[in-house]
Chain A
Amino acid sequence: MIGKCSSCFMKVNGVPNAKTCREPVREGLVVERQRGWVPPAAGVEELGSVEFREVETDLLVVGGGPAGLSAALKASECGLDVVVVDEHFKIGGQLLKQTHKFFGSVELFGGMRGFQIAEEYARRIGSSERIRVIPRSAVYGVFRGGLVGVVGENSHYVIKPRAVVGSTGASERYLDFVNNDLPGVIGAGGVQTIMNEYGVKPGDSALVVGSGNVGLIVAYQLLQAGVAVRAVVEILPEIGGWFVHAAKVRRYGVPILTQHTIKAVYGNGKVEEAEVVAVDENFNPIPGSEKKFRVDLVLLAVGLEPDTRLFSQCGAVMKWSPDLGGLVPLRTPDLETSVRNLYVAGDASGIEEATTAIMEGWVAALSAVSKLADKSRASRAEEELEKINKFLWEEYRASPVLARARRGKQSVTVSREEMEKIRAEHPPHVSFG
């Protein structure tokens, strides 16, 4: 329920398989339950009129989260016209559900709460004449000639951009265990959507699986909403997230059980009980160590996977990186992929965090500006890009808590010369510009 999965599929106004986490409440709305996937009706169905528009723009930003919005703003400030496409009716991506204060420096929005950063971005974008946002829409394909197909609410766009920033984010991982399809088992991001974005208390007592920052933060937010958090379980011998986030839940009495995982959930039609088990150093369950918790919620915070289908479809050369959560496009230090003028930024470039996503958005936008804008703007953009990259790599990512993401991102970054060789060997089937 972060807008990427099928967990909340229902029939909305007669149309099946609608993501209800992305449906604004409106007059006359009819929502019906559906069971499993409903195949599309056979034959042609009359769905009413669809408006068709062709749009030319300097920069297309796919995904309006922290990376995409910072890219859009930076590019517009440098004189480019920008179109932002986002699936949600509100821009901000995962920032919308982040109620905790962000780390960083004042210039990097440190001290602001995530949703406040989203509000600030929405305000700046709303007052920019160069940025056009197409909400509630999705890129469905990229075609030869660099045309990008977008479907929105009763509208169909074909966009011809000179450059594209793919800031498509990530989706939550799921976990195998007995009865994991019982209602009450839900992604941590999904609960953040329900609870923090829409103000609905998701249950009375919870078990959180995974102690990365997402797991720790959501445990704290559950406590704030009045949900009892019985425990956070972590399969590794150490807590995954930052100490300060762990300390915040510990001091309100939430145990963090390292070297434990979830074995099963039980209940009649919904989660009523969760069973956890200790694991040895090879992650094998230790028989006899099972513990049961009376809970009605089991939150999975077991990592994210970059959403990179757009890049694959364009023929960008991809690399598998466990440190980054999966398959990501190779990129130059300027974040250009092997598809010329296609840039990657944010979690789509490898799972990291929101502040680095913002900085990557700036880098991607400035790269585009350095190629598309007039000479003086281009050279200023290059200078700024160098500065941001230097800070990002040499100062920000020097933090030991970001070591894994840094290692991953190093492993998928190649020099511009190397990228030219890769392009010659694996020519992409589409190009922009």
Chain B
Amino acid sequence: MPNSSFRKTGVVSPEELAALNLLPPEDRLKKGPVVVLECPEMIPCNICVPYCPTKAIKMEKLIDIPAVEWDKCIGCGICVAVCPGLAAFVVDTSKSDFDYVTVPHEFIPIPRVGDEVVLLNKLGEGVGRGVVVRVWERNRTYVITVRVPKGLGMEVRAVWVER
């Protein structure tokens, strides 16, 4: 996609992700947590494939764009931890009161469960505040699940702990 706007901005739109089958379908989003791989370029990497416990991510060649079998994905977030590009996220927009987003985090301080954090979108704009509900770590990448206001599930892509 040499003319894609994300090559100019560093921000990928939902339309661009949908065109690459990287956006979970509506009916799958209603069922519970699911991965969003914001990986729109054919980079030589397949780390998410062997680590996926349900074999939900497929790539025939190392440079392929990942293909997700939406019904196999359980939203566990292991790909969030291992993706070298920090491009994997898990969103859960199935609940009526809140959305949940799982993001990679490599900054100190590390948020703790219960902390209130600033929610950032793909442009780094503060879009609200959320509460951390789960934190775990793998090779120094922290995987943070945060409860966010309803409707922000597809917006929030990072959290920031105010110092």
A→B interface (CB under 8 Å):
100-106, 110-113, 223-224, 237-239, 242-254, 256, 258, 355, 395-396, 398-402
List 4 tightest A-B contacts by C-beta distance, closest first.
Answer: A253-B124, A244-B85, A246-B10, A103-B45
Which residues of chain B in 115-163 are interfacial with respect to chain A, using CB atoms and an 8 Å cutoff?
A: 120-125, 139-141, 157-158, 160
Stretch at the interface among B25-33, B35-43, B69-77, B93-101: B35-43
Q: Is the CB of B84 within 8 A of A253?
A: no
Considering the chains assembled together, what is the distance between the CA atoms of A174 and B37 in angstroms? 36
For residue B52, CB closer than 8 A to chain A, the reply is: no
For chain B, the bracket of interface size reads 35 or more
- Which label, helix, strand, loop or mixed, suits the secondary structure of the B interface? loop
Q: Is the CB of A105 within 8 A of B46?
A: yes
Known contacts A223-B107, A251-B158; decide if A243 and B10 are in contact (CB<8 Å).
Answer: yes
Q: Is the CB of A243 within 8 A of B12?
A: yes
Known contacts A111-B84, A243-B6, A243-B40; decide if A250 and B123 are in contact (CB<8 Å).
Answer: yes
**Best-surrounded residue of A111, A113, A239 (most CB of chain B within 10 A):** A111
**Partner of A110 from B6, B7, B38, B46 at Cβ < 8 Å:** B46
Q: Is the CB of B85 within 8 A of A395?
A: no
For residue B22, CB closer than 8 A to chain A, the reply is: no
Q: Is the CB of B38 within 8 A of A247?
A: yes
Known contacts A244-B86, A247-B38; decide if A402 and B9 are in contact (CB<8 Å).
Answer: no
**Partner of B62 from A223, A258, A395 at Cβ < 8 Å:** A395
Q: Is the CB of B12 within 8 A of A239?
A: no
Q: Is the CB of B84 within 8 A of A252?
A: no
A112: nearest chain-B partner, CB-CB: B139
Considering the chains assembled together, what is the distance between the CA atoms of A149 and B62 in angstroms? 42
B50: nearest chain-A partner, CB-CB: A106
23 A-B contacts, Cβ less than 8 Å apart?
A: A101-B139, A101-B141, A103-B44, A103-B45, A104-B44, A104-B84, A110-B47, A111-B51, A239-B9, A242-B43, A243-B7, A243-B41, A247-B38, A247-B122, A248-B86, A250-B9, A251-B158, A253-B124, A258-B8, A395-B44, A399-B42, A399-B43, A401-B43
